[in-house]
């Protein structure tokens, strides 16, 4: 089924008065930042890693693409409007391209669409008819969280269809970080960032940091596993496990880490479980791997035991997931 592409300028005209004003401020700041980064300044590229060819704005001129606004309009419709995260968002920048789906032969959008509240991502060209829904992530609340947020997204992005284009992931990563920094600075001045509910933030964390052996309550298939973990870890009936990073040994049963709204639980094979109330953890807590790189050190005498099957990358994901979950639960 063909859809008429929305005109981005019509969309902006229909924004609320305050968001139209904010749109002007944000786009001006974004344009200034791109000038500072020497992006979209010239049609000639001094090196093959330039991403000028993949940057599109809703306003202004493009040194390469005369149809920049049409490209942005199509991208905004396919990424932000198919399943909007919020009733109204300010369009900011698209970094990506349109490519032909090898199966359907239709031109489809692939890349990153940034609004003032959300980062939308499309990297799936594997469907024959209707393109898969894009992923969407609420922007982080703090500037210090931007690098980690974007790095995990870039690491998880599927570049498989991009055959004749140089490896530009690192440039895209730096550009997205810079753009989100501009947006968050604007939100600080206007108090305009819409903070998602804790459940939404937790869902984003579980998507971003998904270590091996993760069992989340949001996955109905994991109910039996989590019930077994709760029993083995002596989790009280009034405490529901949000997620666990556990394995089940033939002899000894479940071991690893479990997280509830009130505490961290951990169990080593053939040992009794330990409970660490979140209210007793330091506000400056900084989780780290043990010297032998096997487990997570909470404090000098508190350890979170990890499943043996986790590799170094999964252990780092587990640290980030648990650390950010603790901060979220503290409020």
Q: What is the pLDDT of residue 230?
A: 98
Q: In this predicted model, what pLDDT tens digit does every residue of 126-174 receive, in sequence order?
A: 665 566 789 898 999 899 999 989 998 888 888 765 554 446 788 999 9
Q: Is the pLDDT of residue 4 over 60?
A: no
Q: Is the pLDDT of residue 252 over 90?
A: no
Q: What is the pLDDT of residue 287?
A: 93
Phi, then psi, of 209 in degrees rounded to 5: -110, 95
Distance from first CA to last CA of the chain, Å, rounded?
A: 45
Taking Cα atoms as reference points, which of 194, 226, 238 lies closest to residue 22? 194
Q: Is the pLDDT of residue 98 over 80?
A: no
Q: Is the pLDDT of residue 104 over 80?
A: no
What is the Cα–Cα distance from 76 to 120, expressed in whole angstroms? 9
Backbone angle region of 256, left / alpha / beta, with phi > 0 → left and psi within -120 to 50 → alpha: left
Does CATH place domain 201-330 in 2.30.29? yes
- Tell me the three-class secondary structure of the chain, residue by residue: CCCCCCCHHHHHHCCCHHHHHHHHHHHHHHHHHHHHCCCCCCCCCCCCCCCHHHEECCCCCCCCCCCHHHHHHHHHHHHCCCCCCCCCCCEEEEEEEEEECCCCCCEEEEEEEEECCEEEEECCCCCCCCCCCCEEEECCCCHHHHHHHHHHHHHCCCCCCCCCCCCCHHHHHHHHHHHHHHHHHHHHHHCCCCCCCHHHHHHHHHHHCCCCCEEECCCHHHHHHHHHHHHHCCCCCCCCEEEEEEEEECCCEEEEEEEECCEEEEECCCCCCEEEEHHHCCCCCCCEECCCCCCEEEECCEEECCCCCCCHHHHHHHHHHHHHHHHHHHC
Whole-number mean pLDDT of the chain?
88
Average pLDDT of the residues in 276-292: 90
Average pLDDT of the residues in 20-47: 86
Q: What is the pLDDT of residue 164?
A: 44
Residue with tokens 């968001």: 19
Q: What is the pLDDT of residue 1?
A: 37
Phi, then psi, of 96 in degrees rounded to 5: 170, -150
* Top-confidence residue, 279 or 163: 279
Q: What is the pLDDT of residue 40?
A: 85
Percent of the chain with pLDDT over 70: 89
Q: How far is Cα of residue 139 from the mean position of the Cα atoms in its chain?
A: 8
Give the confidence band of 16 by pLDDT, cuts at 50, 70, 90. very high
Q: Is the pLDDT of residue 38 over 70?
A: yes
* Top-confidence residue, 166 or 331: 331
Cβ atoms within 10 Å of 220's Cβ, excluding its own: 7
Average pLDDT of the residues in 290-294: 93
Taking Cα atoms as reference points, which of 214, 83, 204 lies closest to residue 145? 204
| Domain boundaries, given as residue ranges, for the chain | 8-196, 201-330
Q: Is the pTM of this model over 0.85?
A: no
Q: What is the pLDDT of residue 279?
A: 92
Q: Is the pLDDT of residue 184 over 90?
A: yes
CA–CA distances in Å: residue 328 to residues 196, 278, 279: 11, 11, 12
Q: In this predicted model, what pLDDT tens digit does every residue of 189-221 receive, in sequence order?
A: 999 999 888 888 898 889 888 899 999 999 999
What is the Cα–Cα distance from 278 to 281, expressed in whole angstroms? 5
């Amino acid at each position: 089924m063909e859809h008429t592409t929305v005109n981005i300028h019509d969309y902006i005209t229909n924004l609320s008065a305050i968001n139209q004003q904010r749109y002007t401020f944000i786009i001006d700041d974004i344009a200034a930042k791109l000038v500072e980064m020497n992006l979209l300044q010239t049609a000639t590229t001094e090196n093959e890693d330039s991403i000028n060819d993949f940057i599109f704005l809703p306003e202004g001129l493009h040194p390469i693409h005369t149809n920049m606004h049409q490209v942005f309009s199509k991208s905004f419709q396919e990424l932000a409007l198919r399943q909007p995260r919020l009733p109204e968002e300010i369009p900011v920048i698209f970094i990506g391209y349109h490519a032909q789906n090898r199966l359907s032969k239709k031109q489809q959008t692939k890349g990153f669409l940034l609004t003032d509240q959300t980062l939308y991502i499309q990297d799936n060209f594997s469907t024959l008819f209707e393109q898969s829904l894009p992923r969407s992530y609420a922007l982080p609340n703090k500037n210090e969280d931007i690098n980690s947020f974007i790095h995990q997204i870039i690491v998880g992005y599927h570049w498989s269809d991009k055959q004749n284009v140089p490896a530009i992931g690192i440039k895209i990563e730096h550009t997205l970080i810079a753009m989100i920094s501009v947006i968050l600075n604007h939100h600080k001045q206007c108090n305009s960032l819409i903070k998602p509910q804790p459940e939404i933030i937790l869902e984003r964390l579980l998507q971003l940091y998904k270590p091996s052996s993760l069992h989340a309550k949001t996955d109905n298939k994991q109910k039996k596993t989590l019930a077994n973990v709760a029993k083995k870890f002596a989790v009280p009936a009034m405490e529901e496990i949000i997620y666990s990073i556990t394995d089940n040994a033939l002899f000894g049963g479940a071991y690893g880490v479990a997280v509830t709204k009130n505490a961290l639980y951990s169990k080593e094979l053939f040992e009794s479980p330990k409970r660490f109330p979140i209210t007793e953890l330091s506000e400056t807590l900084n989780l780290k791997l043990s010297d032998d790189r096997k487990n997570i050190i909470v404090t000098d005498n508190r350890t979170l035991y990890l499943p043996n099957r986790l590799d170094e990358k999964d252990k780092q994901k587990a640290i980030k997931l648990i650390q950010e979950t603790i901060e979220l639960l503290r409020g």
